[in-house]
Chain A
């Protein structure tokens, strides 16, 4: 790659010719403040916070979009630069609601941070304020355009990363807003509720719908038996929400914290992840052996399920009918568990802690009442759980490590890896291979399906059959695979699709500041959890075996069909 020499604040460095001034500054170890810039999205140069002085240029330039050239001399810290940055941020603050202390993003807001870092003590402008009604008519996300600073990151995340294109800039001048078409609510347009927009939003303009009040209410009701399930991706990210390093594994402390919050039982979604593998794996073999629709595609990710229902309804036959682990858990907790414990299911409140905003919408789907009640009552995201722990005054880092409750807290490493892209596929392969061959696998690590490559393909030899699999994460990558299927060019047997980058660990409900580096650390933590598990194959889960032996019968049996499988329908929005 051709390199050029640039001087940043007196320091000479070599950078690729294609670099921007911002990238060159980073390479020189100089931090330039940014707002609309996001390292994983196309730079836009919208906010002008990253302005710097380039020798010879007529005016200050936006470093995030300004290309370097050889011999360029850049100054990032001059009176003119500091004054310009301050003015830009002051102008943003002039029409921004001043309710930081009671804002959902208080202490976790990039606008707040940058105002602090730039030393803004007085806003010299008293501008007109925006006064838009909130968009809160969906179960997952709340939009408050009054807090929008028009950085456009949500537009780019939704278009570039997800290929869904919900948002665009609309109108002009002071009336410019970020909006779905026709200023409709997210419930009226083809939004999957994946929440990636919320993870890139620098302010509280897009946040998860906060359901913590309902959970607190249930926890304080002595007549209710409140159980919680925790998704695999929460245990490797919750620590981040509470000030720990990315990739910290906090399973034991999380369980302890949930007990201290007052949950009667602390269970693990990994238990039903193992169950999902048995049902979905059996379904796959059934389809394979009896001419069913192939490729079969996983259905664990509710953002992905919304996507296919909205955009590719003609391909719904490819979706596994197996419910997601969250919903299998919900159906069982108010039937199997209620029976086993002698608790009236109407007194059970089933809460799930998820890395995901779309799970909130999944829980309220009409089909998800297999127990006769709403199977999962409340879904809180990792961020909401973090806030509850803080609100309760729990010193998370000082908690002892505690174990999940039996039986629905017993799980294998195969259940844990559901949290990372490729994990469901790997877990399924571990089980399917052993069921088909009747022999124990020599190596159960399927490295080909791991990692952050957008679309991964692998061929796996199972007995006489070469099984061709594909794994995609992000909906933009899902779209590529679906287009191949539509054209008849996809000869895969089995496909795993997760809506979010990196899988659930990069979910829309995870701690903000999700970037590739953090995602990789969370993924590493997930596989470490798997490595440390005593059991690493779903079909070896003793609690799942007991469930089948004593209550459920066999995979794809009558009871399974009623409780653990579902159907899909085209969504028109």
Chain B
């Protein structure tokens, strides 16, 4: 079934395997509508590790895993607010990546390259975890016939082929297919499990309320973090969730502001339904002793108990989730390497050469990921869980850059570095107050970055470039937006 999934996916995207320009590779010539964008965001965002690592959290702690639906809506509000200027500046000035947008706004190559590095460094652990998940699924679903390493190779080769040949266009097209499978297939399979094993939602909740009531409230059984931990994970993930370059860069592939905003409306609703049913299933699964000994393999165990079709189907769903994320990540990194590093260092790179650099980057990233993927996965999962402490530092740089004229490059650079340093220091040295107060390291880093950027902003006036940029943007709004006047109001009344 997994091979069939790959075959159908490649068949669907076969016409997209060929790019005419770097613009096409990076942004698909800004051509996608809301349906494609919504499912592309979902497919990139929902990771294959959801059925392993996140399943472990949901089966163990229950309600706490619902933090994902809480943060999803905050992420979409961020997407809603960054959309207008990202789209306008992107389309007007030919901007193709998040880093390029920030470099443009702050008029700084340093900001551009720093944010590019941040995007790549904090993304890599996710990439590795997803590739390893692919290998794990191949091995599990084939009963050990395909070893994990060769499963990883198979998965990454398919992704590398369609990303390098088709760029953003093939990634988004494949994402729609993957997104439909993982959302509708995943939801249907979970509902099947709930009715087959627990007699429906109502009886499932009754059983849990009688036997494991602590699974239904925060923080769940076996641990006791204070409430600020809940606050932190929702706020940090929510504000940082859309700042991954692999999610943010999708904005440059959309055909209008309306498209992005419709996606921001639809995605959290679809995600909330999908993920809630997933967590409810995990909460009910908690009642099986077999799953508690291997919480990460709980869903695969349940599927294998349901027969080969269910197991194969779950394998396809996990693979769809994983391939969607991996392809988005690899496309974003390769675009950043070509656009924000190579083309900044050497301005005279031709369009064709820019595409080739991106393609070589795809191969290099794939090989490096495979190499690291064979090493210590425990470390990668550990790192992946803490990457939000780093990526969240892009939030002040992005949001103040888009909405506050006074935000300047000095504040952005110092804030980004100092905030990340504080965040990482607290994360890795883990002082006692982090656990006792519950506020996660990213919160302290985020606050420091905001303070630095605001102080730096008041230390000097906005430059001529920024004044003109704001003026030009306002002119665009004036031409297009109809604000009700007092005259029309009086006519209505």
User: Are A and B bound to each other?
Assistant: no
